[in-house]
Structure 1
Amino acid sequence: MNSLLLKKSDLNQVIIKKSITISPSTTLLEARETLLRHKLKRLIVVNSKNIPVGIITEKDIVKTVYALGDKSIASVKVGGFMSKNLVTIKKTDSVYQCAKLMYRNKISSIIAVNQDGTLYGIITKTDLASIFLTQVVEPIKVSKIMTRKVITAMPGDSLLYVETLLINNRISRVVVQRNNIPVGIITFRDFVPAKLPHWLVESADPKEVENYRLHSQLTELRVNQMSHLLQFKAVDIMSANPVTVDDDEDVGVAVMLMIRNNISGIPVVKKKKLVGIITKADIVKAIAQH
């Protein structure tokens, strides 16, 4: 792969988006309402000088609500539970620098600041993936950056087995295959039991759901729900006929498919057979390493 993967340009010329902000004194309920109203996954917390001092996500709100137990949430302020270890970048820095920070810190977004430290905007994995559509110097084949090890299940496998695959491998999706041909996709939110609260269902990742179950009381209702899961197979809940991409297609095609279908990962096939998977994280990694 060419060492100059993208056209030389700084973040300000390419992908930085403006962000809705809140203050540390914003209540948890107000922050939640803002996320819902604007259909966002994260909010940047700024002080009176518009300097970023924290960031909160849907998952931060979920964790905080659970930690409160029976206590009232009406008086809980964002400043008490926001993430304070911020990764920031200057708006004049390069796309490469941004990708390296994102990849090195294993995060999905980075805050962009002005020279004086005030907020300028935010960059996400989706933003970095999108630059392949306009900024790539030479076409890159999917096979060059895809992840070759794919965690799979069979249509007849139990949902509890699929759940185990997600948790133990710390992944977001399992490809359901028959004769090495992708026939479905299952993500954690496809089958999280109804016992789990709505907020966790909407923003679940395997590690958090595992922790929730381990630290929650095992009631008779929960036992019955787990038994209920045993009756179902992967084929019962999978999203059938998954979007796929050929290994010799350009990465730009994979990006367009992700954006068009609002997904973050696509099975890669060769002559219809599963040979890998490509995700937005793979694209960020490719930018970071070149």
Structure 2
Amino acid sequence: MQLRAEDIMKEAITLKPNNTLADARDIMLKYDISRIVVANDNKPVGIVTEKSISRFLYRDGRPLDELRLDQVMRRDLITVNRDTSIKECAKRMLDNRISSLLVVDEKCYIFTKTDLIKVYAEHFRNKSKVRRYMVSNVYTVLPTHSLHRVLSILVRNKVSRVVVVRNNKPVGIITARDLLPTSTLIEVDAKLEEDLTYGNASELAHVLLARDVMKKPLTINADADLADAASIMINNNISGLPVVDKDNDLRGIITKTDIIRALIELS
């Protein structure tokens, strides 16, 4: 039986338009989710994501609790029907460069890239290797690079993660989600980094560095089954894996987006 949207959707967690970005950040952290649907009288009117908050932190100096969701939310919501096929849902996500789709019925439902790669992990084992779908170009930083530099890379390149390397070996990974608990400090970090360019080295110890927030990376070999990559992401609640060779040198990265490309091609 062909899987459809109704097989993977779940009821969306929502906030109102007059809630703040700080409210959204707190809910994301509490429920370990990456997006909030903004609803007015139970009707979805927008969506706010971790990336939305990252862009705000980089471009705006105001505190998160001073900005309403209706000032920053994405309004062009992409929806599907309950009976839309999984393959078509995957295409919609990639075509619109989004990570979730809504199903609007008597209630508001949502499903994400995570739900789609679960389908791949369960139904497409032994269909492809990581090597076929990994991306060779990886955005990297050193452990001593500032957190503001990390944020700049995320926002300017519209990516969700950077790999922290030492001698081309991955020693950490930082995602947009990792920046949420530190959001109140990033504005200070940016100011200190600016001061350092003028020789104020005494402030160096107070600047947040990549090593302060990075997490130990889970890695995978290029010859591993792509379904194993999907399972690792699901089991560890992550969205990307650095790809390494036998010497643990960084060779690329595989993300949920890449697995969804495989889902479309192999369905």
Q: TM-score, normalised by structure 2?
A: 0.72
Relative to total residues, which structure has the larger helix share, 1 or 2? 2
Q: 1:90, CA displacement in angstroms?
A: 1.2
Change in Cα spacing, 1:59 to 1:173, as seen in structure 2 (3 Å) is closer
Q: Give the count of matched residue pairs.
A: 256
Q: Which moved more, 1:102-111 or 1:145-154?
A: 145-154
Q: Which residue of 2 aligns with 1:187?
A: 174
Change in Cα spacing, 1:60 to 1:175, as seen in structure 2 (3 Å) is closer
Residues 126, 225 of structure 2: 8 Å contact kept: no
Whether 1:53 aligns to 2:53 is: no
Whether 1:86 aligns to 2:77 is: yes
Q: 1:146, CA displacement in angstroms?
A: 1.0
Q: 1:148, CA displacement in angstroms?
A: 2.2
Please show how residues 1-290 of structure 1 align to structure 2 within 5 Å.
8-13=2-7, 15-24=8-17, 26-28=18-20, 34-48=27-41, 50-57=42-49, 60=52, 63=56, 69=62, 73=66, 78-114=69-105, 118-136=106-124, 138-152=126-140, 158-159=144-145, 163=149, 166=153, 169-171=157-159, 172-178=161-167, 182-187=169-174, 198-199=182-183, 224=200, 228=204, 239=215, 242-272=217-247, 273-290=249-266
Residues 242, 250 of structure 2: 8 Å contact kept: yes
Q: 1:100, CA displacement in angstroms?
A: 1.2
> Quick one: distance in 1 between partners of 2:60 and 2:250?
42
| Superposition RMSD in Å | 4.4
AA matched with 2:6: N
Unaligned runs of 5+ in 1: 1-6
Change in Cα spacing, 1:162 to 1:267, as seen in structure 2 (3 Å) is farther
Q: 1:238, CA displacement in angstroms?
A: 5.6
Residues 111, 119 of structure 1: 8 Å contact kept: no
Residues 178, 213 of structure 2: 8 Å contact kept: yes
Q: 1:16, CA displacement in angstroms?
A: 1.1
> Quick one: distance in 2 between partners of 1:19 and 1:60?
18
Larger Rg: 1
> Quick one: distance in 2 between partners of 1:245 and 1:230?
34
For 1:138-194, what per-residue CA distance to the aligned partner results, in whole angstroms no more than 9, with x for missing partners? 532111111123344667xx515993793565542125153x5x34124267998xx
> Quick one: distance in 2 between partners of 1:162 and 1:27?
26
